[in-house]
Amino acid sequence: MTDQFEQSELPKPAGRAPAKVSLEAGKNYAYCTCGLSANQPFCDGAHKGTGFAPHKFTAEEDCSVMMCMCKKTGNTPRCDGAHKHLPPEA
């Protein structure tokens, strides 16, 4: 499926607003950086062949976080408001 996308087009925004996610202390996570995962905001391996890799992290505490869905954040995997600067949808 990823063959149809040019690497220069990636990452694909998976949404125009953040996703609220509950994280469990000590649990490992893999955040999707390519935007192709069907399990957003987490990686499902759809990046294979694109040159992208998931951002792996371990939750330090039980908490809810706003995770970036536009894939433009400067604070991966958390939303930093970058979605507010996306061009309008056609």
Q: What is the pTM of this model?
A: 0.86
What's the pLDDT at 89?
80
Tens digits of per-residue pLDDT, 42-89?
A: 999 999 999 999 999 999 999 999 999 999 999 999 999 999 998 888
Considering only CA atoms, which of 59, 58, 76, 61 is closest in space to residue 18?
76
Considering only CA atoms, which of 90, 74, 87 is closest in space to residue 33?
74
Considering only CA atoms, which of 65, 8, 4 is closest in space to residue 31?
65
What's the pLDDT at 3?
45
What's the pLDDT at 18?
98
